[in-house]
Amino acid sequence: MSAASVPGEHVAVRLVGSELAATLRARSAEVAAELAAGGTPPPKLAVVVATEDESSHAYVRSIARAAHKVGLACDIVDLGAGASTPEIQKTLTALGDDDDVHGTIVQTPLPPGVAAQDVVTSIDPAKDVDGANPSSLGRLATGLPAFAPATAEAVIALLDHHEIELAGKDVVVVGRSTVVGVPVAHLLLARDASVTVCHSRTADLAAHTRQADIVIVAAGRPELVTGDHIAARTVVVDVGTNPTDDGGLVGDVAAAQVGAIAGALTPVPGGVGPVTTALLLWHTVDAARAR
Ligand SMILES: NC(=O)c1ccc[n+]([C@@H]2O[C@H](COP(=O)([O-])OP(=O)(O)OC[C@H]3O[C@@H](n4cnc5c(N)ncnc54)[C@H](OP(=O)(O)O)[C@@H]3O)[C@@H](O)[C@H]2O)c1
């Protein structure tokens, strides 16, 4: 934890992700090296892409670079923006059958007319390192072993790393996507938190968030959560990553306002994001180790 101190002004503790991400990367590198020493080929992540969106390609290339740095292999399977649902399904089934591949993810956006829910069911659950197949979410919800979506797990890992207690706490999750909001709610329940999930039809968001010990925001709405939503000493996790006109990123939380009130706040960028990528790689190593 770190906090810049300005005399006379409250500044929330910054829940940075870099240290935890480095620890996770080191652990991945160590296990990958152990596997290599035993004669096993490197754990391999396959990333299926079917878009011309340049920011998606840049993100995928950054995952591949991060994978290579810790001794993992990473195949980018580019099907092009014209790929059909059956084509993507067939590719995912083939990756499931490929013994050299340990983890598989599908990058969004998908081509027009291809629904994510129609293709993610073709990801082999044993290789579902970003918890995208509904069977992974079902297992998570019923307390069975499964890979959680990396972002949802990153939220919990970051809170644990900064020694923020979850058991018995009132936690409000803003957002109910199956990528972040819903899985994070299940992970919190498994850790004995009392969880409220808010969404776009919640009548009075601030009435919920002001009562919380911890607020986790994953709404994809720039600076949705302001100072009016947060009580003093609340811990706030900002999952949002919204691109700005100048090429930067802004979170779902108005950082300056909330940072002057909250007890702790994750920065954007530099909070949940780096931990998410590191966990994706760790899940791939874990899948290889389990094999
Ligand atoms: N850091 C990372 O590694 C990482 C990874 C994944 C996502 N993200 C970011 O996290 C954010 C959320 O992603 P997502 O995939 O979960 O987004 P999503 O699928 O668009 O879901 C957004 C959720 O927020 C709710 N919401 C929207 N407007 C709201 C409002 N005014 N008040 C309350 N709830 C509202 C929506 O409610 P309804 O269900 O009612 O529509 C929905 O449940 C995005 O900024 C995304 O870029 C970051």
CATH number at residue 49: 3.40.50.10860
Q: Give the number of other CB atoms < 10 A from CB of residue 2.
A: 8
Report if residue 252 sits inside a domain: yes
Q: How many domains does the chain have?
A: 2
pLDDT class of 233 with cuts at 50, 70, 90? very high
pLDDT class of 117 with cuts at 50, 70, 90? very high
Report if residue 137 sits inside a domain: no
Report if residue 31 sits inside a domain: no
Residue closest via CA to ligand 1's atom 47 equals 241
Among residues 63, 89, 124, the one where a domain terminates is 124
Asked if residue 177 belongs to a known ligand binding site, the reply is yes
Distance 49 CA to ligand 1 centre (A): 21
Distance 155 CA to ligand 1 centre (A): 14
pLDDT class of 5 with cuts at 50, 70, 90? low
In this structure, the answer to whether residues 177 and 223 fall within a common structural domain is yes
* Structural domain boundaries, residue 117: 38-124
Query: What's the confidence (pLDDT) of residue 218?
Result: 98
Report if residue 169 sits inside a domain: yes
The atom number, within ligand 1, closest to the CA of 176 reads 43
Residue closest via CA to ligand 1's atom 21 equals 177
In this structure, the answer to whether residues 186 and 260 fall within a common structural domain is yes
Asked if residue 241 belongs to a known ligand binding site, the reply is yes
Q: Average of pLDDT values for 167-181?
A: 98
Q: Is the CB of 21 under 6 A from ligand 1?
A: no
Asked if residue 175 belongs to a known ligand binding site, the reply is yes
Q: Average of pLDDT values for 120-138?
A: 98
Q: Average of pLDDT values for 137-166?
A: 97
Query: What's the confidence (pLDDT) of residue 53?
Result: 93
Residue closest via CA to ligand 1's atom 44 equals 220
In this structure, the answer to whether residues 190 and 247 fall within a common structural domain is yes
Q: What is the DSSP letter of 14?
A: E
Rounded CA-CA distance 90/87 in Å is 5
Rounded CA-CA distance 43/208 in Å is 43
In this structure, the answer to whether residues 109 and 187 fall within a common structural domain is no
Distance 239 CA to ligand 1 centre (A): 8
pLDDT tens track for 241-281: 999 999 899 999 999 999 999 999 999 999 999 999 999 99
Q: Is the CB of 270 under 6 A from ligand 1?
A: no
Q: Average of pLDDT values for 217-239?
A: 98
Report if residue 23 sits inside a domain: no
Rounded to the nearest 10°, the torsion over CA 270, 272, 274, 280 is: -170
Q: Provide DSSP, 240-287.
A: --EE-TTS-EE-SB-HHHHHTT-SEE--TTTSHHHHHHHHHHHHHHHH
Query: What's the confidence (pLDDT) of residue 124?
Result: 98
Tell me the best of 173, 178, 179, 253 to mutate to test the pocket of ligand 1, counting ligand atoms within 8 Å of each CB and taking the most: 179
Q: Is the CB of 242 under 6 A from ligand 1?
A: yes
Distance 31 CA to ligand 1 centre (A): 34
User: 148 with 131: CB under 8 angstroms?
Assistant: yes
User: 71 with 30: CB under 8 angstroms?
Assistant: no
In this structure, the answer to whether residues 87 and 165 fall within a common structural domain is no
In this structure, the answer to whether residues 158 and 111 fall within a common structural domain is no
The atom number, within ligand 1, closest to the CA of 202 reads 33
Among residues 89, 124, 159, the one where a domain terminates is 124
What share of the chain has pLDDT > 90, as a percent?
A: 95
The domain that contains 229 carries what CATH number?
3.40.50.720
Report if residue 196 sits inside a domain: yes
In this structure, the answer to whether residues 88 and 158 fall within a common structural domain is no
Distance 251 CA to ligand 1 centre (A): 11
What share of the chain has pLDDT > 70, as a percent?
A: 97
User: 67 with 282: CB under 8 angstroms?
Assistant: no
User: 220 with 181: CB under 8 angstroms?
Assistant: no
Q: Is the pLDDT of residue 113 over 60?
A: yes
Residue closest via CA to ligand 1's atom 5 equals 151
Mean pLDDT over all residues of the chain? 96
Q: Is the pLDDT of residue 12 over 90?
A: yes
Query: What's the confidence (pLDDT) of residue 7?
Result: 60
In this structure, the answer to whether residues 182 and 231 fall within a common structural domain is yes
Tell me the best of 130, 156, 200, 266 to mutate to test the pocket of ligand 1, counting ligand atoms within 8 Å of each CB and taking the most: 200
In this structure, the answer to whether residues 112 and 169 fall within a common structural domain is no
Q: Is the CB of 176 under 6 A from ligand 1?
A: yes
In this structure, the answer to whether residues 182 and 235 fall within a common structural domain is yes
pLDDT class of 9 with cuts at 50, 70, 90? confident
Query: What's the confidence (pLDDT) of residue 8?
Result: 64
